[in-house]
A and B are shown apart, each in its own frame.
Chain A
Amino acid sequence: MAAKNIPMREALRNALREEMLRDERVFVMGQEVGVWQGTHRVTQGLLEEFGPKRIKDTPISEMAIAGLAVGAAMAGLRPVAEMMTINFAFLALDAIVNHAAKIHYMFDGQFRVPLVIRAASGWGNQATATHSHTPEPIFAHFPGMWVATPSNASDAYGMLKASIRSENPVLFSESIALYSRPAPVVTDDPDFVLPIGKGEIKREGKHVTLVAYARGVEWSLQAAAELAKEGIEAEVVDLRWLRPLDIDLVLESFKKTNHCVVVEESLPMYSFGSEIAAQIQDKGFDYMDAPVKRVSAMDVPLPFAKDIELMALPNAQKVIDAVKEIL
């Protein structure tokens, strides 16, 4: 298989493009996706290639963007709707939660909602309290839709294809900090589709399991590299999807290491970390040698001022500290 080192935004664009070429029903809609070439340049060039019928610039109308996408999906199209940032998905929450995620069940399978909602997510740019959310766990709370949280360009490519081809609605979160990070991405297999709900071990180790998704994987890998210098071998589990949750992969690793630190970009209360910790104590109790630790953002809204913003956020050092606390 041939591969090329490209940034995540380009990998996402390739996935969109190829799925649009493969399936006429796929169309893209969202604010600034066309003429402006995409706020994060993911959709760059697509308007020129596919025209305004399939690349739809929308008004600033999140509720209607998500709701219209649900209706179009019910009626047989395959919308890929972009929320410029995931913060604005709060305005569309009802359409996503009450309709996208419920309709298949509520009408007992009569309608399908094969919809992807892409959204840029994350913090660290002094974007302030309203523009710095990483609320993926909120979406994963609700049964009826999948939540994709890729950690690198290649995964993003294969996961977006999987999401577009899925018959279920998918909230697809793209970490802004990762858009420019390059990784080798397959170039000669348009059917490079990653399985929905399957995580991946990103680094093997035997002393502690670091469970992460999206940007947390980067901090975990950085921490693991540092820890290795001191003889501590951390295994990094990238869950890739918050739903379906590949808890088996976590447990498999945990049974080997007996220690776990959960690393997440998001807030600590009622979180991804809480869920993983609960499932480990429930299903892996006999293997526990220490409490499950969580590294997450601090439990505060994010401020503008740079220094204190960074204080509030997770990083590799915080992961290292947490590992040392339990080993």
Chain B
Amino acid sequence: MKQPGPEKVLKEQKIDEKWWDNWIRKGGWRPEGWKIIEMNDGPTLNNLRPEKFLIVHRPHGNMFHHSYGKTSKFFMGLLEGKLYGTKCPKCGLVYCPPRAHCFNPKCRLEETKWVELSKKGEVHAHTVMAIAWPSMAHLQPLVGAMVRIDGTNTCLPMTMRDIDPEKVNIGLRVNIHIEKQPKGDLLDVYATPAEKPKAPKRTPEELKRFREDMEKTRAWVKKTFGK
């Protein structure tokens, strides 16, 4: 028998302890304020009566120290600007998102091997987010695509840049990029069109509505973030 530890730190990008220390102390569960409200309530709309409620504003915060386990190589790859997936030596399926074990029922959880992937792919399905993550709200309207990276049997969800949201289409060839200053998660990966996009078929009404939606979304971004 052998002990697995202690762990050796090979490389590290430290968190700003001061920033976190400040935040963790704010997450103390004690109310920062409160209000008393009155509202009708009851089990059905045919049976309501006025009730008074006290509401407290109760904060707390967290930071998770998360391991990517045996898929870590994918994220280490991002830090070096490379894209990796895994391949099953038995059935040949190629995964990105990678899996350390093949999920083909025939392969009895065979351990996979790492392969470097091409930075080209194809849009399998897409959307335009008018409400994205709060931290990405300034990028709205934001194209999201399920991208099938060439040679893989899966789709990796990612956002797209340098594309008119009106024109993204299923089957569009894309180039895949990794942020110049990667943070170590999937948001480091994004796609741009590798060919002239073809707009999906829309009726004149649909097109008019779509353009209005985009205008409204951009106006909100401008109003909120001032650019």
**A and B, one complex?**
no
Which positions in A face B, CB cutoff 8 Å? none
Chain B positions near chain A (C-beta within 8 angstroms) = none
